[in-house]
């Protein structure tokens, strides 16, 4: 691989699930493709310091340069009903002067700008600097197709999408069932829908789009994205990029317990960095796990009714020792299950757990990072989507890849009862042989994509070459 003098300035919006894929892309550009990399992290009062904390728990010697921008406090610009996508959009807008200043003062000057999906509005700053601009959607090609095509759907379809009986058609892609659209499309009168539409339009203003997926995983959707009906810019599938396994020093008690369990016998239950359940759902999940008689690790957060993404802006990226879970779990649950289960308050070293040979299933909210972490470890899933594009991810896992089972009704529509939880957990753990085999095939296909000469490796090489050509074409001396 030739060395480059390219300097990639990457822009990351707040949220652990956003930070992880940007960090991993930065590390890959630095380590495998020898770029100079600086990551600008937009922070909130709750997330300030998170990027450096994450890097500390990351193994590996080469790390990109991280600049955390001053926290953006939008508390006076929002109300209790302001949705997550609106909040993120306002934060990224308010951060623009700081982003412009950081980019203009960078030394060496950046030669490529890579913004995550919530940073698309900053494309103008890259234009002012006359550098190639890319956007990184750390999710699926199918989701990207919906996002980019939504402005067309907006013109064609009247009324709420969720009231339709027909699925939403996207050229060349699997149709999206109305109840499975992304959160911002659930209510077309909410501001977050307009922010989402704007992002869909802005995607086409970039010189290219990077996706945390790979050719073999989403061949059809990638082909559709590269046709001329959805998106104009080139699409680079560069995944699966996942965070590394956390060091053993994190939560040693839990890892010691895992060591003592038989192979593939433990189901890991966790709802990402932002997911929360209602009190009633926590009770049913607890009973379901107990009735299933399977070994489990459950990352538990206090209940919040009616807001599945309630923890999104809370900084919960470290273990919590307050033991308050005994207040909201069924009476006697901890005592009755202590031989087969571990309850972890708030946060766990997820990659360490999923990569452990004792783990054989994952009950997951299907955030795309969690999904990739499960797939790259060959672990089958009980899909429990809560917010964002997770309902679409659950469809990919169940209907396209055949590596997951899902609840009869979406968990955001109806409480999943204990008997259904029991059945799903048992099915994945006891009868999930076919799913486990397929998950392992997907794991191998992901590994192949990333290795030198694999499709994702080649895609990043192509991106760098295209970028260099763009730079040359902008340089009047060449």
Which residues does the annotation mark as catalytic? 18, 116
Among 350, 393, 455, 456, binds ligand UDP (CB under 6 A): 350
Helices (H), 138-278: 141-156, 191-203, 219-226, 252-259
Contact status, residue 320 vs residue 398, Cβ threshold 8 Å: no
Stretch that binds ligand UDP, among 9-17, 94-102, 219-227, 420-428 (CB under 6 A): 9-17
Cα–Cα distance measured from residue 450 to residue 455, given in angstroms and rounded to the nearest whole number: 7
Q: Which of residues 286-325 bind ligand UDP (CB under 6 A)?
A: 299
In the complex with ligand UDP, the residue whose CB is nearer, 16 or 111, is: 16
| Residue 347 touching ligand UDP (CB under 6 A) | yes
Nearer to ligand UDP, 41 or 464 (CB): 41
Q: Quick one: which of 116, 195, 218, 373 contacts ligand UDP (CB under 6 A)?
A: 373
Q: How far is the CB of 16 from ligand UDP (least distance, A)?
A: 5
CB of 25 to ligand UDP, least distance (A): 14
Q: In what order do the strands lie in the sheet with 404-406?
A: 341-345, 295-300, 266-270, 359-364, 381-383, 404-406
Residue with the shortest CB distance to ligand UDP: 17
Measured between alpha carbons, how far is 456 from 476 in angstroms, rounded to an integer?
A: 32
Residues 6+ apart with CB under 8 A from 290: 333, 336, 337
- Contact region with ligand UDP (CB under 6 A), list: 34-42, 268-276, 425-433, 439-447: 268-276
Calculate ∠ Cα 306-309-312, nearest 5°.
140
How far apart are CB 386 and ligand UDP at their closest, in Å?
Answer: 8
Choose one: 37-45, 147-155, 278-286, 362-370; the region binding ligand UDP (CB under 6 A): 362-370
Size of the site for ligand UDP (CB under 6 A): 19
The angle subtended at Cα 348 by Cα 304 and Cα 268, nearest 5°, is 85
Instruction: List residues bridging with 209 in a β-sheet.
Output: 135, 235
Residue 470 beta carbon to ligand UDP: minimum distance, rounded to whole angstroms: 30
Chosen residue from 140, 221, 273, 355 binding ligand UDP by CB under 6 A: 273
Is residue 20 at the binding interface for ligand UDP, with CB under 6 A as the rule?
yes
CA dihedral 161, 167, 169, 175 (to 10 degrees): 120
Q: Which of residues 8, 9, 12, 17 is near ligand UDP by CB under 6 A?
A: 17
Q: Which of 406, 358, 386, 437 is nearest to 270 (CA)?
A: 386
| CA separation for the pair 289, 208 (Å, rounded) | 45
CB of 377 to ligand UDP, least distance (A): 11
Stretch in the footprint of ligand UDP (CB under 6 A) among 96-104, 106-114, 120-128, 364-372: 364-372
Based on the shown chain and the rule CB under 6 A, indicate whether residue 274 belongs to the binding site for ligand UDP. yes
Query: Closest approach of Cβ 303 to ligand UDP, in Å?
Result: 17
Q: Can you count the helices (H) and strands (E) in the chain?
A: 17, 13
Q: Which of 149, 168, 143, 150 is nearest to 239 (CA)?
A: 143
From CA 216, how far away is CA 314, in angstroms rounded? 35
Decide whether 352 or 438 has the Cβ nearer to ligand UDP: 352
Strand order, beta sheet including 235-237: 65-68, 36-41, 7-12, 112-116, 133-137, 208-211, 235-237
What is the x/- site pattern for ligand UDP, positions 31-50, by CB under 6 A? --------------------
For residues 144 and 152, what is the distance between their CA atoms, to the nearest angstrom?
A: 14
- We find the least distance from the C-beta atom of residue 131 to ligand UDP, in angstroms, to be 28
Query: Where does this chain bind ligand UDP (CB under 6 A)?
Result: 15-17, 20, 243, 270, 272-274, 299, 347-348, 350-351, 367-370, 373
């Amino acid at each position: 691989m030739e060395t480059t003098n390219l300097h990639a300035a990457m822009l990351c919006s707040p949220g652990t699930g956003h930070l992880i894929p940007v960090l991993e892309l930065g590390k890959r550009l630095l380590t495998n493709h020898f770029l100079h990399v600086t990551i600008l992290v937009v922070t909130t009062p709750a997330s300030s310091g998170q990027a450096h904390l994450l890097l500390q728990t990351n193994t590996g010697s080469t790390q990109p340069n991280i600049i955390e921008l001053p926290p953006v406090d939008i508390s006076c610009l929002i109300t209790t009903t302001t949705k997550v996508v609106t909040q993120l959009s306002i934060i990224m807008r308010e951060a623009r002067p700081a982003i412009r200043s950081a980019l203009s003062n960078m030394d060496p000057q950046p030669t490529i700008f890579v913004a995550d999906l919530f940073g698309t509005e900053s494309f103008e700053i890259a234009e002012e600097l006359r550098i190639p601009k890319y956007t990184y959607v750390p999710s699926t090609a199918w989701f990207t197709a919906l996002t980019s095509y939504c402005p067309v759907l907006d013109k064609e379809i009247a009324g709420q999408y969720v009231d339709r009986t027909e699925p939403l058609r996207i050229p060349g892609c699997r149709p999206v069932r109305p109840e499975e659209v992304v959160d911002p499309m659930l209510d077309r009168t909410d501001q977050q829908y307009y922010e989402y539409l704007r992002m869909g339009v802005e995607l086409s203003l970039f010189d290219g789009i990077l996706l945390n997926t790979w050719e073999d995983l989403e061949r059809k959707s990638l082909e559709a994205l590269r046709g001329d009906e959805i998106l104009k810019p080139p699409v680079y599938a560069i995944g699966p990029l996942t965070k590394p396994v956390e060091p053993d020093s994190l939560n040693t008690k839990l890892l010691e317990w895992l060591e003592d369990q038989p192979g593939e016998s433990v189901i890991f239950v966790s709802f990402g960095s932002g997911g929360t359940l209602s009190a009633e759902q926590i009770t049913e999940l607890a009973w379901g796990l107990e009735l299933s008689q399977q070994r489990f690790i459950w990352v538990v957060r206090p209940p919040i009714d009616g807001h599945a993404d309630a923890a999104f802006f809370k900084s919960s990226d470290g273990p919590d020792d307050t033991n308050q879970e005994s207040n909201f779990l069924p009476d006697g649950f901890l005592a009755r299950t202590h031989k087969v289960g571990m309850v972890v308050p708030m946060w766990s070293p997820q990659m360490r757990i999923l990569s452990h040979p004792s783990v054989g299933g994952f009950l997951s909210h299907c955030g795309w990072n969690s999904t990739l972490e499960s797939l790259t470890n060959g672990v089958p899933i009980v899909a429990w989507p809560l917010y964002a594009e997770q309902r679409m991810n659950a469809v990919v896992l169940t209907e396209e890849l055949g590596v997951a089972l899902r609840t009869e009704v979406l968990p955001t529509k109806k409480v999943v009862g204990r008997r259904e939880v029991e059945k799903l957990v048992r099915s994945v753990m006891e009868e999930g042989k076919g799913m486990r085999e397929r998950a392992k095939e997907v794991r191998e296909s992901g590994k192949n994509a990333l290795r030198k000469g694999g499709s994702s490796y080649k895609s990043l090489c192509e991106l760098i070459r295209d970028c260099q050509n763009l730079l040359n074409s902008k340089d009047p001396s060449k």
